[in-house]
Structure 1
Amino acid sequence: MLTLAIFGVLLFMLLVDIPIAVAIGLTAVIFFVGQGNANFLMLLPQRMYFGTTGFTLLAIPFFILAGNLMNTGGITQRIFRFARALVGHIAGGLGHVSVVSSMIFSGMSGSAVADAAGLGQIQHKAMVDAGYKPTISAAIVAGASTIGPVIPPSIPFVLYGAITSVSVARLFLAGAVPGLFMGLGMMVAVWLMAKPRGFPKDDRASLREVWVSFTEAFWPLLTPVLIIGGIMSGFFTPTEASVIAALYAGALGFAYRDLTIKALPAILFASLKQTTGLMFIIATANFFGWFTIFQRIPDELITQLTAMGTSQADFLWIVMGVILALGCFLDGNAIFLITLPIFMKICPLFGVDMVNFGVVMTLLIMVGNLTPPVGMCLFAVESFARVGIWQLAFECMPYLLAILAVTILCAFVPGIALWLPNLMMGPG
């Protein structure tokens, strides 16, 4: 009963438009005071500080900076041109190009919103200019952007690893195959709709155009090789890899002469604002997570699930239902921070692999990015497409279903996600 009351108060605050970070922290404060434990509020500053000082979390601001540098430095245009030369002639045309270019960009930024806001504008304009309806174009862009946090590197995987102490390197590798499946699923959806909806397509690119576009995109294409290769060789950690990614993105921007010294302060300030906003949520959510443990909420849920004779499959279905419901109202990072302190104690009870669970959780959060009223990718695309959130959400249904299919597959066939990390790093 207490658990329902706690999350009911939190949900109410979110519905009345209280900022996420404030709502999370204030919920814990209200229940501490209401139960006569106001003295525990002295731990609030300590828990907030502790929640943002982990070494792994240092990767987040640098991956954010890397994404902003790539969006400003002209790298996105080169990636889009190369993807267009590869798949622009397939039925579905620029729809496939958007998915493929997002898959490539995913290996650089690790952020769905960065993909939607940067590369997405190029994708949308090209599709509308080619004759796509703006709503259809915007939906493809929004759907494709969700691949960003699944294919490594990934900001959500960094956050998940920091909370659960699971190897970030294993998480990065585990996201590769599901991310590929996501892209293929979306391309199938585009292909199936191409003829009925009359999607235009390009003429087949000449071998010269493929080669020229590849040479222009060659150095950006090396980014995921640099990041994953460096991590796997032991040359640097995932956290250090984020610094390398930011430096590499900046170097490419200057080398291509698309990035200037004059533009750097604005890019750095934008990255700073994004980082501080996320870190504030992490700080208050750490206090909330500690509060749930103090209230023994995980223990109560374990007792209830055991008494119900819940199986591993039942537990996974429950998790999927909970995360999908929360995804309609909460930012993905907040969902991680609120639920993982509870779920990470229950997973071992049902024999759920924590690396695969991280992939499943991230996929579920990507579904949330496409569901109103708080779908972050919907808002990022709507900011330049101007097609209406609810119309955009409806058009995203085929891509949302593709993500759900991959999620369910990964949840019940963990070998899909675990194959690559087990191959490269041995059984975990």
Structure 2
Amino acid sequence: MTTFALFGSLVLLMLLRVPIAVALGLSAVIGLVMSDISLEIVAQRMFSTNNSFPLLAIPFFILAGEIMSTGGMSRRLVGFAGALVGHLTGGLGAVAILGSSFFAALSGSNAATVAAIGGVMNEPMAEKGYRPSYTAATIAAAGVTGMIIPPSILLILYGVVTGVSIADLFLAGLLPGILICISLLILNRILAGRLGIAPTPFEGAAGIWESFKAAFWPLLMPVIILSGIYGGVFTPTEAAVVAVLYGLIVGFACRELTFAGLTRAFYKAVISSAVVMFIMNAAGVFAWLITINQIPQTISQSLTEVAGGPVLYLLLVNVFLLIVGCMMNAAAAIVIFTSILYPAAMSFGIDPILFGIIVSVNLSIGTVTPPLGVDLFIASAITKVSIERIVAAIWPFILVLIVDLLIITYVPPISLALVGIFG
């Protein structure tokens, strides 16, 4: 009865368009009342959820991304991407995709990636003759890499929930992120070729070198962060603080970051961090309640019996999470459903790092699927294109992302090769 009340009330509140954090909190309260547990536990569990050193990485990486974006780093990265691929068929679409992958290595956030790259690329793509709906779809789909390429906020959350090494998860996310980037570049070339859009002139080696020099300092940041983590110099959480400090130094040294811009960056980072942590707090209470009611164990046992083996189990997980991603915020979903799906995955002998990548890729695809894909709404706000038109244009990208997901799921070395070498 408690299970039905918990999930039934959550679904009902979500259908009523109640914000996900509030819906999770209210559902948890209903479950606590039905379980005859004091509501004081809500405050205790919220505090317990926040009382985690690795979670500090989230607000700092968000702030680092905002500082880089405000300080003009996204424009420099786009310029370098343009020099590399702008002359190809569908060049500006390729620039948006490659630029998003570069910026993802700075921010770890899909929303920040879509906002930063979309703001730079929208007008140039429109001037070059790209259809507004195609521009919006490309910008939204490219943002998916922000949740896979390290430092990924989703991978941090997964590591906090499961206790898996966040440093290993970062390493494991690199090749899947590159795979997604390459597949989107190939699709963009095919689709842009059908649109008949002429490429821009090639700037030559000199143009690439000049744009590289301009983008050198922002490109150096992920190198410093990852080498510092795997060299044992600092933890992923400390790396987030280093990223903020590095962004401040580079922004002011390049004279593109002003104190007014820094104030805006702090403001945006506080809002984004508050949203994520509010969701985490509510999801933490909800996850604790379903755990003490033995719901994960019951579902895990049922899934184990139905699947019978890891191949079918991973397929069921993919289908389930793709549906969840359409309806629920990724941060909330990873906290709640990891606790349900993780035990069965371990019983099948699935590598916990690989499983984290699979879960994260699934939920990242949810950011570009209707009805609640957050990247769709950000791209719509930037390009002034309706959600309906973006959805009509983005389906080829979604299909390619699902193919990528299946490849990542059933070819484990893509995720685990670098961990085996450097982990």
Normalised by the length of structure 1, the TM-score is 0.96
- Provide the residue aligned with 2:10 in structure 1: 10
CA contact (8 A) 1:132 1:200 kept: no
Equivalent residue for 1:387, pick from 385, 388, 403: 385
CA offset at residue 4 of structure 1?
4.9
- 1:61 corresponds to: 59
Mean Cα displacement is larger for which, 88-97 or 170-179? 88-97
Q: CA deviation at 1:361?
A: 0.9
Identity of aligned residues (%): 38
Once the two structures are superposed, what CA deviation does each residue of 1:79-111 show, in whole Å capped at 9, x if it has no partner? 111111111111111111111111111111111
Alpha-carbon spacing, 1:307–1:118, altered in 2? closer, same or farther (3 Å): closer
Q: Following superposition of structure 1 onto structure 2, how do residues 28-67 of structure 1 map, counting pairs within 5 Å? A: 28-35=28-35, 37-39=36-38, 41-67=39-65
- CA drift of 1:256 comes to 1.5
Q: Describe the superposition over 1:104-146 as per-residue Cα deviations: whole angstroms up to 9, x where unpaired.
A: 1111111110011112111122111211111111111111111
Aligned to 2:306: 308
User: 8 Å contact 2:303–2:344 — kept in the other structure?
Assistant: no
**Is 1:276–2:274 an aligned residue pair?**
yes
Higher deviation after alignment, 301-310 or 315-324: 301-310
Distance 1:32 1:3 in 2: 11
The alpha-carbon distance between structure 1 residues 87 and 311, as it changes in their structure 2 partners (threshold 3 A), is: same
Which digits, 9 at most, give the CA deviation of each residue in 1:370-409, with x for residues without a partner? 0112111111111111111121122111221221111111
RMSD of aligned alpha carbons: 1.4
Can you give the 5+ residue segments of structure 2 that lack an aligned partner in the other structure?
Answer: none
CA contact (8 A) 1:115 1:148 kept: yes
The answer as to whether partners of 1:372 and 1:390 remain within 8 angstroms in 2 is no
Match of 1:348 in 2: 346
Separation in structure 1 between the aligned mates of residue 256 and residue 207 of structure 2, nearest angstrom: 22
Aligned position for 1:169? 167
Counterpart code for 2:28: A
1:396 aligns to what SS in structure 2?
helix
Taking the aligned partners of 1:283 and 1:273, their CA distance within structure 2 comes to 15
Quote the Cα distance in structure 1 between the aligned partners of 2:74 and 2:103: 8
Deviation readout 1:255-274 (Å, 9 max, x if unpaired): 12111123322221221111
Runs of 4+ in 1 over 4 A off after TM superposition: none
* Partner AA of 2:229 in structure 1: I
Contact 1:170 1:421 in 2 (8 A): yes
Q: Give the aligned length.
A: 423
Matched, 1:132 2:130: yes
Contact kept? 1:169, 1:238, Cα under 8 Å: yes
1:365 and 1:10 map into 2 onto residues whose CA distance is 18
The match for 1:413 among 411, 414, 419 is 411
Task: Look up the SS of the partner of 2:368 in the other structure.
Answer: coil
Rounded Cα–Cα distance in structure 2 between residues aligned with 1:372 and 1:133: 20
* Distance in 2 separating the partners of 1:419 and 1:142: 29
The separation in 2 between residues aligned to 1:272 and 1:123, in whole angstroms, is 26
Aligned to 1:205: 203
Deviation at 1:178, TM superposition (A): 0.5
The Cα shift of 1:206 comes to 2.3
Shift of 1:179: 0.5
The Cα shift of 1:20 comes to 1.0
> Does structure 1 retain, via aligned residues, the 8 Å contact 2:2–2:31?
no
Separation in 1 of the partners of 2:134 and 2:270? 33
Deviation at 1:303, TM superposition (A): 2.8
Partner residue of 1:119? 117
260-269 or 359-368: which moved more? 260-269
* Cα distance in 2 between the residues matched to 1:122 and 1:262: 20
Once structures 1 and 2 are overlaid, which stretch shifts more, 217-226 or 249-258?
249-258
Given candidates 215, 218, 241, the residue that maps to 1:217 is 215
> Could you say what secondary structure the match of 1:352 adopts?
coil
Does the CA-based 8 Å contact 1:298-1:346 persist in structure 2?
Answer: no
Equivalent of 1:402, from 372, 396, 400? 400
Moved more, 360-369 or 337-346: 337-346
Matching residue's letter, 1:368: G
1:361 & 1:105 partners in 2: Cα distance?
22
Q: Hey, what's the Cα distance between the residues in 1 that align with 2:198 and 2:361? A: 30
Q: TM-score, length-normalised on structure 2?
A: 0.97
